Amino acid sequence: MDLNGSWAIVTGAACRIGRAIALALAERGANIVVHCRRSREEAEVTASQVRKLGRRILIFTADQSDWSAVERACDEAWRATGGIDVLVNNAAIYRRTPLAETSERDWDELLDTDLKGPFAFARFLGPRMKERGRGKIISIADVGAERVWPGYIPYCIAKAGVIAMTRGLAKALAPEVQVNAIAAGTILWPEGGDEASKERALRDVPLRRAGSPTDMARAVCFLVESGDYIAGAVLPVDGGRLIH
């Protein structure tokens, strides 16, 4: 896909990995729709950087755990842009939930945000892309979908669902729309992480280092620009963690 003049939605694009993805797509010619839930100030920073690259920018806020809010946001974005070419499902919650402490609220919040939300975006944009004749959907999964961590079971279940969703969407939207996922490894440390936990995590990474948002952004750009014959795939960006 040639990104020049295209429109890409990146969910959770206000900061961190989402911002890196949005800027990488903009550098390659895409106009950007920045989605955030509450981080409006950070979203404005992303928008400013996109404008400096000479691209058009829109910002919308929506709680992606709310099906109706996602539907409204997708309708608004489609009308405002004239059509979306790329959807990157990046926004997610990552929170420790030890089994004996996991509440129903934890379960609902993690599954609704990390799985229902990405599906809702694909539900309301994917069929329109298919009817239009082209599109790319990339969802950010996690190595935790296969290496389930006992302190993060609902999160890992949601990310396993993202992989199943990706494979189903790849069939439902083919051949016009290519749908793939990226299994992220240790990319950014969660806030409040201590050095001991970082060292333990890196012991499971054959490359012995954490990745960067740039690594994720490059993978997204590869699947969007060069992945025309890739569908239903899960690309690991994990330093080899899945093979350890």
| Over residues 5-10, mean pLDDT | 98
| pLDDT range class, residue 3, cuts 50, 70, 90 | very high
- Average model confidence (pLDDT) across the chain: 95
Q: What is the pLDDT of residue 193?
A: 61
| Over residues 175-198, mean pLDDT | 84
Q: How far apart are CA 215 and CA 175, in angstroms?
A: 28
| pLDDT range class, residue 171, cuts 50, 70, 90 | very high
| CATH class of the domain defined by 7-243 | alpha beta
Give the strand order in the sheet containing 57-61. 57-61, 31-36, 7-11, 86-89, 135-142, 177-184, 234-237
Tell me whether residue 229 is exposed, middle or buried, using C-beta atoms within 10 angstroms of its C-beta: 0 to 12, 13 to 18, 19 or more.
exposed
pLDDT digits (tens, 9 = 90+) for 100-149: 999 999 999 999 999 999 999 999 999 999 999 999 999 999 999 999 99
pLDDT digits (tens, 9 = 90+) for 40-86: 899 999 999 999 999 999 999 999 999 999 999 999 999 999 999 99
Question: Which residue is it, tokens 């996109």?
Answer: 50
Q: Which of 94, 152, 155, 229 is catalytic?
A: 155
| pLDDT range class, residue 192, cuts 50, 70, 90 | low
Angle at which helices 213-226 and 16-27 cross, to 10°: 40
**How would you write 98-161 as a 3-class SS string?**
CHHHCCHHHHHHHHHHHHHHHHHHHHHHHHHHHHHCCEEEEEEEEHHHCCCCHHHHHHHHHHHH
- Is 155 tagged catalytic? yes
Q: How far apart are CA 168 and CA 174, in angstroms?
A: 10
Cis peptide bond upstream of 175, omega within 30: yes
Q: How far apart are CA 133 and CA 4, in angstroms?
A: 17
Residue 30's Cβ-side half-sphere holds a number of Cα atoms within 13 Å equal to: 29
| pLDDT range class, residue 191, cuts 50, 70, 90 | low
Q: How far apart are the first and last CA of the chain?
A: 34
Residue 197 has pLDDT above 80, yes or no: no
